[in-house]
C-alpha cells in the first residue's frame, strides 16, 4: 500500500524525552480524509501515555489528540469534507460501529475496543496509531469533526479533548441553573469545566491548590474560588454541592471533595491519576452520595459541543509553543504551570 512519509515527535521509552521521528500515513482510502495539522493541544493524558503511567503504552508513541487542521485530500466516497475545509480529530479515529454502544453514539465505550488516536491498534496498518504531534493525519470521515470557522483554530484545538471531556458529564448529569457545581483543578480540562458550567447557568465554584489562579478562575466564569488545601474554607462549603467535576491528574484527597456534596450529590472523576484514589466508604453513606466517572464523548456529542462553542464563542485559553518545546511544556504542566492549555503550532515541525 502506498504511504505518506510524515515528520512527527515521539518518545521511545517511559524515561526518554520526545524527539523527531518519522512515521508513515496511509494514502487516503475512499472514505478517508487527509488533514494537514495546523495545531495540536497538549493534554495531560499525553504525559501519562509518554511515561507509561497507566501501563498501556506501546512504543514508540506519537502523542496528541486535540487536532485541528486543513483538509488536503479526500477519498471519492467522502461526503462531509472537501479540500480546504477546517477539520478536527479528537481521541478516537475508529470503532466497530456495530455494537450497542457504538449504535448509541457512544463510540468511546465501543464494546470491541475503540481505536484511540495514538497507541491504539491501527486497523489499516496492523501496527499502532500515531497521534497529532505530526505534520498530517489520515482518518475515516466518520471520525472527523467539523471545526467552527468563526473560532481561532489554535484556541479551538483543545476542545477536542479538554472541551468534550468536561462538556459531556456536565450535559449527562444535566448541570444548569439553580445548582451549585464545583470544578476541581484549573488546568486544561478544569478551565473548560469552569467555562461550560458557567455557560450552562450553574453557580460555579472552582477548587484549586494554586492561590495564584483565583483571579483567573473568576475571569473564566467561577462565582467563587476555594483553596482546597485550606480546611476552614472547605468547611464553609461542606454538604452544599449538587455536582463536582474532578479533573485532577495526580493523587489527592477525594474524601474531602465527597464531604462537599449534599444528599444525592454526584462527584464525577475525569482526571486519571496513575495511582488508585483512596475512598472512605463512610463518606459516601451520609448523606447518600454518588461517585462516578466519564470518558471523553462520542462523535455526535463532540460535534454538538463544537457547534455550541461556535455559537457561543467558547474557546480555550492557550499558550502556543513550538514542537521543539514539548519536553519543557510537560515539565511545566507537572508543576500546574500552564495558562491553561499548551497548543503546538505544527508549522514548527516543518522548520
Ligand atoms: P492539567 O492541565 O495538568 O491540569 C491538572 C490540574 O490538576 C492542575 O492544573 C492542578 O490545578 C491540579 N492538580 C495537579 N496536581 C494536583 C495535586 N497533586 N493535588 C491537587 N490538584 C492537583 O491536566 P489536564 O490535561 O486538564 O488533565 C487532567 C487529568 O484528566 C489527567 O489525569 C488526564 O489524563 C485526564 N483526562 C481524562 C479524560 C477523560 O476522558 N476522562 C480526558 C482527558 C484527560 P490547580 O493548580 O488549580 O490545583
Ligand atoms: Zn486528552
Ligand atoms: Zn463498537
pLDDT tens digits for 9-30?
A: 999 999 999 999 999 999 999 9
Contact between residue 321 and residue 347 where contact means Cβ atoms under 8 Å apart? no
208 lines ligand 1 (CB under 6 A): yes
* Residue 54 scores a pLDDT above 80: yes
The confidence score (pLDDT) of residue 1 equals: 59
pLDDT in tens, 239-290: 999 999 999 999 999 999 999 999 999 999 999 999 999 999 999 999 999 9
pTM: 0.98
270 lines ligand 1 (CB under 6 A): yes
pLDDT in tens, 310-334: 999 999 999 999 999 999 999 999 9
Reported as half-sphere exposure (CB side, CA atoms, 13 A), residue 72 has a value of 15
Over residues 109-122, the mean pLDDT reads 97
Gap between the Cα atoms of 9 and 2, Å rounded: 22
Q: What is the mean pLDDT of the chain?
A: 97
316 lines ligand 1 (CB under 6 A): no
Q: What percent of the chain has pLDDT over 70?
A: 99
252 lines ligand 1 (CB under 6 A): yes
The confidence score (pLDDT) of residue 58 equals: 93
Gap between the Cα atoms of 324 and 2, Å rounded: 29
Query: Separation of 45 CA from ligand 1 center, angstroms?
Result: 9
* Residue owning the nearest CA to atom 9 of ligand 1: 187
pLDDT in tens, 137-195: 999 999 999 999 999 999 999 999 999 999 999 999 999 999 999 999 999 999 999 99
Q: What percent of the chain has pLDDT over 90?
A: 98
Amino acid at each position: 500500500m502506498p504511504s505518506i512519509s510524515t515528520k512527527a515527535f515521539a518518545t521511545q521509552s517511559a524515561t526518554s524525552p520526545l524527539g523527531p521521528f518519522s512515521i508513515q500515513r496511509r494514502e487516503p482510502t475512499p472514505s478517508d480524509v487527509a488533514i494537514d495539522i495546523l495545531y495540536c493541544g497538549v493534554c495531560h493524558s499525553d504525559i501519562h501515555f509518554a511515561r507509561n503511567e497507566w501501563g498501556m503504552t506501546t512504543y514508540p508513541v506519537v502523542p496528541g489528540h486535540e487536532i485541528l487542521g486543513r483538509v488536503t485530500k479526500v477519498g471519492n466516497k467522502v461526503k462531509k469534507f472537501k479540500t480546504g475545509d477546517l477539520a478536527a480529530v479528537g481521541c478516537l479515529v475508529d470503532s466497530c460501529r456495530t455494537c450497542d454502544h457504538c449504535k448509541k453514539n457512544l463510540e468511546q465505550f465501543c464494546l470491541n475496543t475503540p481505536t484511540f488516536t495514538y497507541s491504539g491498534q491501527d486497523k489499516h496498518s496492523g501496527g499502532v496509531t500515531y497521534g497529532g504531534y505530526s505534520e498530517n493525519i489520515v482518518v475515516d470521515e466518520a471520525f472527523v469533526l467539523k471545526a467552527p470557522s468563526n473560532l481561532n483554530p489554535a484556541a479551538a484545538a483543545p476542545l477536542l479533548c479538554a472541551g468534550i471531556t468536561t462538556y459531556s458529564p456536565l450535559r449527562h448529569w444535566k448541570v444548569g441553573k439553580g445548582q451549585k457545581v464545583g470544578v476541581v483543578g484549573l488546568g486544561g480540562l478544569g478551565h473548560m469545566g469552569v467555562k461550560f458550567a458557567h455557560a450552562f447557568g450553574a453557580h460555579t465554584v472552582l477548587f484549586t491548590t494554586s492561590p495564584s489562579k483565583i483571579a483567573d478562575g473568576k475571569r473564566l466564569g467561577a462565582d467563587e474560588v476555594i483553596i482546597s488545601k485550606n480546611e476552614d474554607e472547605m468547611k464553609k462549603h461542606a454538604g452544599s454541592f449538587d455536582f463536582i467535576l474532578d479533573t485532577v491528574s495526580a493523587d489527592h484527597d477525594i474524601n474531602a471533595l465527597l464531604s462537599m456534596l449534599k444528599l444525592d450529590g454526584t462527584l464525577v472523576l475525569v482526571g486519571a491519576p496513575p495511582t488508585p484514589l483512596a475512598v472512605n466508604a463512610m463518606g459516601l453513606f451520609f448523606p447518600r452520595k454518588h461517585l462516578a466517572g466519564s470518558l471523553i464523548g462520542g462523535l455526535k456529542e463532540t460535534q454538538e459541543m463544537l457547534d455550541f462553542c461556535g455559537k457561543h464563542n467558547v474557546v480555550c485559553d492557550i499558550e502556543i509553543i513550538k514542537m521543539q518545546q514539548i519536553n519543557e511544556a510537560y515539565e511545566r504542566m507537572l508543576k500546574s504551570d500552564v495558562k491553561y492549555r499548551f497548543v503546538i503550532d505544527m508549522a514548527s515541525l516543518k522548520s
